Amino acid sequence: MEPNPCPQAEILTPRSNRDLWTRIGETIETKVFKGAAIAWISGAVQVKTETFDDMGPVGEDPRWENRQLFHEYLQRTFPLVQVALLFELWTHSVLELEKVNTYGLLYTWQGSDTSLKPALLMAHFDVVPVNPDTVSEWTYPPYSGYFDGMNPFATFPWLALLRKYIWGRGSKDDKSALIATIGAIETLLHQGFQPERTFVVSFGFDEEAGGRRGAKELAAKILDRYGKDSFAFIIDEGGGFSQQYGSVFATPGVAEKGSINVDISVAAPGGHSSVPPEHTTIGILSALLVHLENHPFEVHIDRDTSSYQLFQCFAEYSTSIPSDRRDAIKRSITSDEALRDAEKILFKDKILKSLVGTTQAADIIHGGVKSNALPEQAYAVVNHRIATTSSVNATQKHDADLLLPLAKEFDLTFSAFGEIISTPEHTAAKGNLTLSSALGLEPAPVSPIRGKSSAPYQLLSGTIKATYNAHRSLKGDNIAVGPGMPTGNTDTKYYWTLSDHIFRYNHHNGESSNNPLSGAHTVNEALSADALLEMIRFFVTLILNADESREI
């Protein structure tokens, strides 16, 4: 019998803390707890913590100061929670709180057994700005934190689909994970739980601008204190679960693509536009960008990647995957021909194709200052997301090799990433083409999902299954877990040295594909109250399972 290409972990529920887990589960299902949880996320959304790309240093740019308002919100809400919960009041003295670079929050929940590796839970509380021109398109104001479950007007057909949602920027990305994390800890503390394993909680404040002032500083602080490879596992924002091919799949991110922005600059003599050259800098730049888009990176499936392993999970556990797709994926394990067939079928899905290969997107372009003056310079920025099987150097070489023929065609001196590549041989240079980039980000190390070193992944997988079942009062195995990868980069890029086991996962229901909500980073970001409750249940279960485990 052939081995299962997508083996599943056993459902994992707490053992020594079984009664506590059951009791908290019953609490989460009460109207009182639901009301409190809704208030937690609603209040968090109302604190406007936008991050802009041009923000100056902390302490100099006043736009950072709203982070302090969020700190104050957490201090009011946690640990005091809500009086209506009838819990005893307590203070932050249970957890040690440190502020890193003024606004980064670092909590330490000290365990009683220092021989156990600590676990690290991450989130960020900044959000992308709301475009002022789109405010009128929001069903409810973007920073209202409005809960529509009590809305008597939510009876129209299209609104009925959206009832019982908390609306606003950050409700999904990423204040929901932050509130679920701290809410789970709060709930455990109110029940008198004290961990044996230490849990460290790190909340960044500028993830939407790359995390240089938040997560980077937090990671340095943690590394200095604990050292390399010091954590059993790390959890940050990322994948969730959704229905794929008729079955429910959870896809915790075990890998992350690299990234690099390549600046393409064309310079040439200016002059009056009444006597133009055959090609202006803008025309040349346009030709270069068209050439790039017409020659995308070749994309192939590698059997050693997490993406390929996820495809095997789809083939093994989906109930409605087309038979040709299932057959091609299964046969591809031993057949290169079948692997190419699988590529042709799978890559019809643009999202799947973009996850597998290196992508390119021309996102910024500038050139010219006056309609009757020849532009002396034109430049563009091309963003690449680098495949896990590639590298920054390979991506730079691809761009340089691809544009070299056009540099020669336009008689340009060509420099790429600090090196002169070519100069015109028979004519004087008509201008300069320069490729440059800041330091790129290499693809992340891949967290192990099989073998002796995969215990953290097995623990996470079993926790996912237990949470999914408990939240729906189900028995048996009702959700498959496969290795995923987020479409963008997360703050975990600063934490690679702290653990080999980094997972980007929030146990977030991928519900937006089945209703009119737009999701994160755009109009009508919203989160269902039920999704928030399940996220809290997930973090409670994860903490209890991790605390009991002696395999990680």
pLDDT digits (tens, 9 = 90+) for 236-287: 999 999 999 999 999 999 999 999 999 999 999 999 999 999 999 999 999 9
Give the pLDDT of residue 41: 98
Residue 521 known to bind ligand: yes
pLDDT confidence tier of residue 115, bands split at 50, 70 and 90: very high
- In total, the chain counts a number of residues equal to 552
Give the pLDDT of residue 488: 84
Burial of 408 (0-12, 13-18, 19+ CB in 10 A): middle
* pLDDT tens digits, 491-525: 999 999 999 999 999 998 875 444 555 578 889 99
174: preceding bond cis by omega (within 30 degrees): yes
Nearest CA among 522, 550, 493 for reference residue 122? 493
Other Cβ atoms within 10 Å of 426 Cβ, number = 5
Residue 534 known to bind ligand: no
Higher pLDDT, 373 or 487: 373
When computed from its CA atoms, the radius of gyration of the chain, rounded to whole angstroms, is 26
Give the pLDDT of residue 80: 41
Give the pLDDT of residue 204: 98
pTM comes to 0.92
Give the pLDDT of residue 118: 98
Largest distance between two CA atoms of the chain:
85
Give the pLDDT of residue 425: 86
* pLDDT tens digits, 40-96: 999 999 999 999 999 999 999 999 999 999 999 999 999 643 333 334 444 444 789
Give the pLDDT of residue 90: 45
Other Cβ atoms within 10 Å of 127 Cβ, number = 27
DSSP code of 134? G
Q: Which residues contact 76 (CB under 8 A, 6 or more apart)?
A: none
Residue 185 and residue 99 in contact, taking contact as beta carbons nearer than 8 Å: no
pLDDT at 330 over 60: yes
Give the pLDDT of residue 79: 64
Residue 483: helix, strand or coil by DSSP?
coil
> Considering 174, 206, 207, 341, which one is annotated as catalytic?
207
> What integer is the mean pLDDT of 169-197?
96
- Mean pLDDT over the full length of the chain: 92
Q: Domains of the chain (ranges plus CATH)? A: 18-29+52-133+173-256+445-516+538-548 (3.40.630.10), 258-299+357-436 (3.30.70.360)
If residue 365 lies in a helix (H) or strand (E), which one and from where to where? strand 359-367
Q: Say whether 304 is catalytic.
A: no
Residue 455 and residue 552 in contact, taking contact as beta carbons nearer than 8 Å: yes
> What integer is the mean pLDDT of 302-323?
95
Q: How far apart are CA 542 and CA 505, in angstroms?
A: 12
Report which residue type is found at 444. Answer: A
Q: Say whether 126 is catalytic.
A: yes
Give the pLDDT of residue 529: 95
Residue 398 known to bind ligand: no
Give the pLDDT of residue 61: 98
Residue 337 known to bind ligand: no
Per-residue burial over 161-192, b if 16 or more Cβ lie within 10 Å, else e, is: ebeebbbbbbbbbbbbbbbbbbbbbbbbbbee
Residue 61 known to bind ligand: no
Report which residue type is found at 381. Answer: V
Report which residue type is found at 180. Answer: A
DSSP code of 392? H
Residue 25 and residue 187 in contact, taking contact as beta carbons nearer than 8 Å: no
Other Cβ atoms within 10 Å of 382 Cβ, number = 22
Residue 462 and residue 545 in contact, taking contact as beta carbons nearer than 8 Å: yes
Strands (E), 256-305: 258-267
Other Cβ atoms within 10 Å of 221 Cβ, number = 16
* pLDDT tens digits, 212-228: 999 999 999 999 999 99
User: Scanning the structure block, which residue is given the tokens 């973009």?
Assistant: 354
pLDDT at 404 over 60: yes
Give the pLDDT of residue 2: 67
pLDDT at 128 over 60: yes
Strands (E), 126-172: 165-167
pLDDT at 152 over 60: no
Residue 207 and residue 213 in contact, taking contact as beta carbons nearer than 8 Å: no
